[in-house]
Amino acid sequence: MDVFVYGTLLDPHQALAVVPDATFGADATLDGLHAVEGDYPTLAPCGEVEGQLLSTEQMDALDRYEGVDDGLYVRVTVPTDAGGSAEVYVGDPERLHSEESVAWPGDGSLTERVTRYIDSADVVLRVER
């Protein structure tokens, strides 16, 4: 499975420590979201963020690393410009003490609000070829 990484997992040593089967793929740019710093990096509406594709079959290990079960991050699917998709982790801005006010529009869980935004704002992952 392809995962767009933009933070600590850009470091190959860190990525391989979490998911030993990981392989780094192409550079990529996520259009429609931008990086926000805090205790750990996360994403917020608008802008763009550069990162890289990482391929792994160990999504459970990545979910544990990102604290998905604890609600620290959520994993959502974004479309790619080639017609495919990739997973991306978005952190809870309050729990990560984000340096800018991040307001995901709408009601519901963070997953629901981020997913709705991705769909409505035509967020897309551009993969360098």
Q: Encode pLDDT of 40-53 as tens digits.
A: 999 999 999 999 99
Class of domain 2-127: alpha beta
What percentage of the chain has pLDDT greater than the value 90? 89
- Has residue 127 got a pLDDT over 90? yes
pLDDT in tens, 67-76: 999 999 999 9
pLDDT, position 51: 98
- Looking at the chain, the whole-number percentage of residues with pLDDT higher than 70 is 100
Q: Where are the domains of the chain?
A: 2-127
Res. 113 pLDDT band, cuts 50 70 90: very high
3-class secondary-structure state, position 81: coil
The residues, ordered by sequence, that sit 6+ positions from 80 with a Cβ below 8 Å of its Cβ are: 2, 28, 86, 124, 125, 126, 127
Residue 102 predicted with pLDDT over 90: no
Evaluate if residue 93 carries a pLDDT over 90.
Answer: no
Q: Which secondary structure element, helix H or strand E, spans residue 115, and what is its range?
A: helix 110-120
Identify each DSSP E strand in the chain by its residue range: 2-5, 23-36, 42-55, 73-79, 85-91, 124-127
Average pLDDT for residues 8-25, to the nearest whole number?
A: 96
